[in-house]
Amino acid sequence: MVCAPGAAARATLRLEVDRETEGQVLSGTLIDDEGGARYPIVDGVPRFLSVPDAQDAAYESQSKTTVTFSDKWSKFKSYGMKPTEQEFLQEWYRKKFGLGSIAELEAFYGDFGAMLEVGPGSGFNVRFASTHTKGTVCALDISDAAFTTYENTCDLDNCLVVQADLMAAPFPDDSFDFVMADGVLHHTPDTRKAVEALYRKVKPGGRFFFYVYKKMGAIRQFADQHIRESFTKLDPDACYAACEPITELGKALSDLNATVTLTKPIEILGIPAGTHDVQRLFYYNFLKCFWNDAFDYETNNMVNFDWYHPHDAWQHSEEEIVQWMGALGVTNFQFNDANPNGLSVMLQKPR
């Protein structure tokens, strides 16, 4: 299924094995005999990263974002693997996919012959999907998350992990029954181009899910921009430390276990009427200060780091996405209401 990326997207590759164990190639090379390119296999993961010749602004931008995620996924290798975290995350995907129950989520994965998860992070969902399908699950990540995902899934015989840029995914077009990218595409230099690049990999009639950040109200946008201007420039460890007071505020607000009721919406700030948990009200509308009791302190702090450190983290509106769908000729798509912070889009590619 893997092929040379980019222009040579149809070339098949020859495998030279240096080291293997129990049928898994740990190191070796994939060789494109026609084009001359060689792709190393490092610690079980085929690596399709290329360095552009010229100074390329998109490459520079992506490289800075990749530093954040290589660091994060080397530190948080077991994210999503504990039972409490799994429960929370499965429920998260159920909502994002617009399904009624966890059994439906399992059946959803079970239906696919070939699936691709882009930007899998620790690989917790690759593992979940692989154990609930008879098909194949491919995972692709540009950062060292690829190695973490491989470590967490290499015991499964229906998983393949590659390290590559989704803009040059080493798979032929029209390959997958299902492609998903959860919290990934807004971390590339151009979210719309990323949607288009992955859409090409979906088979006619196949499905594509993506979740991207949503444009938030004015005060939250100001706080995001103000903090990110400083925090993106810090090295990862300094940024984790800088996030701690924000995480502590999130916990303190959550510990209040309090609600407030607004009888009228505050339209100028995008705050709806209704009863709001105080921490969530603050988090969605004033300052992202994540806290969730399902995770330990370090993991909660990492979620805030994940927001404030990446070089690229674009926010989008429903209107923009409707326009992207129109340009792709997609008529069958829906927004699923999972959380006010993001837009969950499930689409079907026309046959």
Ligand X SMILES: C[S@@+](CC[C@H](N)C(=O)[O-])C[C@H]1O[C@@H](n2cnc3c(N)ncnc32)[C@H](O)[C@@H]1O
Q: Minimum Å distance from CB 144 to ligand X?
A: 8
- The CB-nearest residue to ligand X is 119
Told to check if 62 binds ligand X by CB under 6 A, we report yes
Sequential DSSP letters for 4-20: --GGGTT---EEEEEEE
Q: Which is nearer to ligand X, 69 or 208 (CB)?
A: 69
Told to check if 30 binds ligand X by CB under 6 A, we report no
Residue selected from 184, 243, 246, 303 as contacting ligand X according to rule CB under 6 A: 184
Told to check if 3 binds ligand X by CB under 6 A, we report no
Told to check if 123 binds ligand X by CB under 6 A, we report no
Told to check if 166 binds ligand X by CB under 6 A, we report yes
State how far the Cα of 105 lies from the Cα of 182, in Å rounded to an integer. 15
Side-by-side strand order, sheet with 342-348: 159-163, 136-141, 114-118, 176-182, 202-213, 342-348, 333-336
Told to check if 187 binds ligand X by CB under 6 A, we report yes
**Stretch of 14-22, 113-121, 239-247, 250-258 lying at the interface with ligand X (CB under 6 A):** 113-121
Describe the crossing of helices 318-328 and 191-199 by its angle, rounded to 10 degrees. Answer: 40
Most distant CA atoms of the chain, gap in Å: 68
Decide: residue 202, CB within 10 A, 0-12 exposed, 13-18 middle, 19+ buried: buried
Sequential DSSP letters for 114-142: EEEEES-TT-HHHHHHHHT-SSEEEEEES
C-alpha triplet 258, 259, 265: angle, nearest 5°: 155
Told to check if 71 binds ligand X by CB under 6 A, we report no
Told to check if 85 binds ligand X by CB under 6 A, we report no
**Stretch of 22-30, 101-109, 183-191, 247-255 lying at the interface with ligand X (CB under 6 A):** 183-191
**Stretch of 6-14, 165-173, 240-248, 283-291 lying at the interface with ligand X (CB under 6 A):** 165-173
State how far the Cα of 191 lies from the Cα of 315, in Å rounded to an integer. 9
Q: Minimum Å distance from CB 53 to ligand X?
A: 19
Give contact residues for ligand X (rule: CB under 6 A): 62, 65-66, 69, 73, 118-121, 140-143, 145, 165-167, 182-184, 187-188, 306
